Amino acid sequence: MKGFTVWFTGLPSSGKSTLARMLEKVLNDMDFHVEVLDGDEVRLRLSKGLGFSKEDRDENIRRISYVAKIVTRCGAVAITCAISPYREIRDEARREIGRFVEVYVKCTLEECISRDVKGMYKKALSGEIKNFTGISDPYEEPLNPEIIVETDKESQEESLSKIVSGLIELGYITKEKLRNVSL
């Protein structure tokens, strides 16, 4: 089987990790080998010591992109879930990886703040932490992503189903294989 990368991008609390894990299960059930590169885990290991300046954020994404490229080349699926706020570096990852599907996890800032899964928006809004995407650091929306999910309007299942349909349309997975999988 040919590998590919699914690159989730979006604000904190938009739903990247949630959808990545759901997609991982679907693809596993289709007999793909899947590696999830989650920003939180990557920052504890591969990118340990990097901060949140533009330079460090770009370096973090370059490292994730490098691993995703290797996983893809091995015929497996890399799913990345990092905020990846800068357009230019996402486009660099796209060029480097080739078989690349950018999924924009779109959600209003207000909804993300009300979810505040990790309690970080609260800290950013009170000034306790600096350089927080959406509050005190920029987020550049993708201009031409392959797939957009709107998690402030859709259930998790609806968003997952949009992603799976998108992957079929783009030719990365087939309907036949999906038939064995319960969504």
Instruction: Give how many residues touch Mg ion by CB under 5 A.
Output: 2
Q: Choosing from 65, 84, 155, 161, which is the catalytic residue?
A: 84
Q: Is 17 in the site for Mg ion (CB under 5 A)?
A: yes
Q: Which of residues 7-26 bind ligand ATP (CB under 6 A)?
A: 10, 12-19
Instruction: Give how many residues touch ligand ATP by CB under 6 A.
Output: 20
CB 158 within 8 A of CB 148: no
Cα 114 from Cα 122, distance rounded (Å): 10
Whichever of 71 and 83 has its CB closer to ligand ATP, that residue is 83
Q: Check residue 115 and report its DSSP letter.
A: H
Task: Residue 50: name the closest of 36, 38, 40 by CA.
Answer: 40
Q: How long a stretch of residues is the chain?
A: 183
CB 16 within 8 A of CB 115: no
**165 catalytic residue (yes or no):** no
Structure tokens at 99: 């078989």
Q: At what angle do helices 16-29 and 156-169 cross, to 10 degrees?
A: 60
Contact of residue 155 among Mg ion, ligand ATP, none (CB under 5-8 Å per partner type): ligand ATP
Q: Which of residues 78-137 bind ligand ATP (CB under 6 A)?
A: 81, 83, 115, 117-118
User: Which residues make up the interface to ligand ATP (CB under 6 A)?
Assistant: 10, 12-19, 40, 81, 83, 115, 117-118, 151, 154-156, 159
User: Which residues make up the interface to Mg ion (CB under 5 A)?
Assistant: 16-17
